Amino acid sequence: MLETVLVFLLLVYILNYFVGKKLNKKLASLWVQENKEVFQSEFSHIGVTDQPNGPLIDSESAHQFKFYASGRQNCLYSLVSIELKKRQDLLTMFLFNIIWPERDRISIEIPIDVNVAIPIVFAIVRRKEAKFVT
Protein backbone atom coordinates (compact mmCIF):
# COMPACT_ATOMS: atom_id res chain seq x y z
CA MET A 1 0.00 0.00 0.00
CA LEU A 2 2.77 2.44 0.94
CA GLU A 3 4.66 1.64 -2.25
CA THR A 4 1.56 2.35 -4.32
CA VAL A 5 1.10 5.75 -2.69
CA LEU A 6 4.78 6.63 -3.21
CA VAL A 7 4.68 5.57 -6.87
CA PHE A 8 1.50 7.60 -7.34
CA LEU A 9 3.10 10.67 -5.75
CA LEU A 10 6.18 10.23 -7.93
CA LEU A 11 4.03 10.02 -11.06
CA VAL A 12 2.11 13.15 -10.02
CA TYR A 13 5.40 14.98 -9.43
CA ILE A 14 6.78 13.94 -12.83
CA LEU A 15 3.53 14.82 -14.60
CA ASN A 16 3.46 18.22 -12.85
CA TYR A 17 7.06 18.85 -13.98
CA PHE A 18 6.21 18.43 -17.65
CA VAL A 19 2.90 20.30 -17.45
CA GLY A 20 4.48 23.21 -15.51
CA LYS A 21 7.46 23.38 -17.85
CA LYS A 22 5.18 23.44 -20.89
CA LEU A 23 2.97 26.14 -19.34
CA ASN A 24 5.99 28.35 -18.55
CA LYS A 25 7.32 27.93 -22.10
CA LYS A 26 3.88 28.83 -23.46
CA LEU A 27 3.66 31.97 -21.27
CA ALA A 28 7.15 33.13 -22.30
CA SER A 29 6.40 32.50 -25.97
CA LEU A 30 3.11 34.35 -25.66
CA TRP A 31 4.86 37.39 -24.16
CA VAL A 32 7.40 37.39 -26.97
CA GLN A 33 4.72 37.08 -29.65
CA GLU A 34 2.70 39.92 -28.09
CA ASN A 35 5.74 42.23 -27.96
CA LYS A 36 7.59 41.09 -31.07
CA GLU A 37 6.33 43.94 -33.26
CA VAL A 38 7.48 46.58 -30.79
CA PHE A 39 10.99 45.17 -30.74
CA GLN A 40 11.04 44.73 -34.52
CA SER A 41 10.15 48.38 -35.00
CA GLU A 42 12.85 49.54 -32.58
CA PHE A 43 15.72 47.10 -33.27
CA SER A 44 17.13 45.67 -36.49
CA HIS A 45 17.76 42.17 -35.10
CA ILE A 46 15.66 40.16 -32.64
CA GLY A 47 16.14 36.63 -31.41
CA VAL A 48 18.90 34.63 -29.76
CA THR A 49 20.68 33.49 -32.95
CA ASP A 50 22.05 35.16 -36.08
CA GLN A 51 19.69 33.16 -38.29
CA PRO A 52 16.76 35.15 -39.75
CA ASN A 53 14.11 32.58 -38.73
CA GLY A 54 15.90 31.36 -35.62
CA PRO A 55 14.35 31.00 -32.17
CA LEU A 56 13.27 34.20 -30.47
CA ILE A 57 13.69 33.02 -26.88
CA ASP A 58 16.30 30.96 -25.09
CA SER A 59 15.26 28.68 -22.26
CA GLU A 60 17.83 28.86 -19.45
CA SER A 61 15.80 26.58 -17.21
CA ALA A 62 12.21 25.42 -16.89
CA HIS A 63 11.19 28.82 -15.51
CA GLN A 64 13.79 31.29 -16.87
CA PHE A 65 13.88 32.60 -20.44
CA LYS A 66 15.90 35.23 -22.32
CA PHE A 67 14.95 37.38 -25.31
CA TYR A 68 17.58 39.42 -27.14
CA ALA A 69 17.41 42.36 -29.55
CA SER A 70 20.16 44.52 -31.03
CA GLY A 71 20.86 46.99 -33.77
CA ARG A 72 19.62 50.33 -32.50
CA GLN A 73 21.63 53.52 -32.56
CA ASN A 74 23.09 54.54 -29.16
CA CYS A 75 21.92 51.27 -27.53
CA LEU A 76 24.22 48.31 -27.15
CA TYR A 77 21.44 45.71 -26.99
CA SER A 78 18.18 44.83 -25.29
CA LEU A 79 18.04 41.81 -23.02
CA VAL A 80 14.67 40.74 -21.66
CA SER A 81 14.79 38.27 -18.79
CA ILE A 82 11.55 36.41 -18.18
CA GLU A 83 11.47 34.70 -14.80
CA LEU A 84 8.25 32.82 -14.19
CA LYS A 85 6.89 30.94 -11.21
CA LYS A 86 8.41 27.52 -10.75
CA ARG A 87 5.26 25.83 -11.96
CA GLN A 88 7.22 22.67 -12.72
CA ASP A 89 8.17 22.21 -9.07
CA LEU A 90 5.28 20.79 -7.08
CA LEU A 91 6.99 21.43 -3.74
CA THR A 92 7.62 25.09 -4.52
CA MET A 93 4.19 25.74 -5.96
CA PHE A 94 2.18 24.37 -3.06
CA LEU A 95 4.32 24.44 0.08
CA PHE A 96 6.80 27.31 -0.24
CA ASN A 97 4.41 29.50 -2.20
CA ILE A 98 2.17 29.78 0.86
CA ILE A 99 4.99 31.35 2.89
CA TRP A 100 6.92 33.17 0.11
CA PRO A 101 4.56 33.78 -2.79
CA GLU A 102 6.27 34.10 -6.14
CA ARG A 103 5.25 36.27 -9.07
CA ASP A 104 6.12 36.15 -12.71
CA ARG A 105 8.73 38.83 -13.42
CA ILE A 106 10.08 40.41 -16.57
CA SER A 107 13.12 42.68 -16.55
CA ILE A 108 14.29 44.64 -19.55
CA GLU A 109 17.91 45.73 -19.73
CA ILE A 110 18.92 48.25 -22.41
CA PRO A 111 22.46 49.55 -21.85
CA ILE A 112 23.13 52.86 -23.57
CA ASP A 113 26.41 53.47 -25.37
CA VAL A 114 28.21 55.75 -22.89
CA ASN A 115 30.53 57.17 -25.54
CA VAL A 116 27.62 58.76 -27.41
CA ALA A 117 24.77 59.36 -24.96
CA ILE A 118 24.40 62.05 -22.34
CA PRO A 119 24.18 60.89 -18.69
CA ILE A 120 20.59 60.19 -17.70
CA VAL A 121 18.70 58.08 -15.16
CA PHE A 122 15.29 56.68 -16.08
CA ALA A 123 13.31 54.53 -13.69
CA ILE A 124 9.74 53.43 -13.19
CA VAL A 125 9.14 53.13 -9.46
CA ARG A 126 6.45 53.66 -6.89
CA ARG A 127 6.28 57.21 -5.60
CA LYS A 128 7.38 56.30 -2.08
CA GLU A 129 10.44 54.43 -3.45
CA ALA A 130 11.53 57.26 -5.76
CA LYS A 131 13.74 58.86 -3.09
CA PHE A 132 16.00 55.77 -3.14
CA VAL A 133 16.75 56.06 -6.88
CA THR A 134 19.86 58.07 -7.64
Question: Which of the four pLDDT bands, split at 50, 70 and 90, describes residue 130?
Answer: confident
The model's pLDDT over 28-53, given as tens digits with 9 standing for 90+, comes to: 999 999 998 999 898 988 888 777 77
Q: pTM, whole model, 2 decimals?
A: 0.77
Which pLDDT belongs to residue 87?
Answer: 85
State the average pLDDT over residues 83-97: 82
Comparison of pLDDT for 25 and 119, the residue scoring more: 25
Question: Which of the four pLDDT bands, split at 50, 70 and 90, describes residue 64?
Answer: very high
Give phi and psi for 75, each to the nearest 5: -120, 135
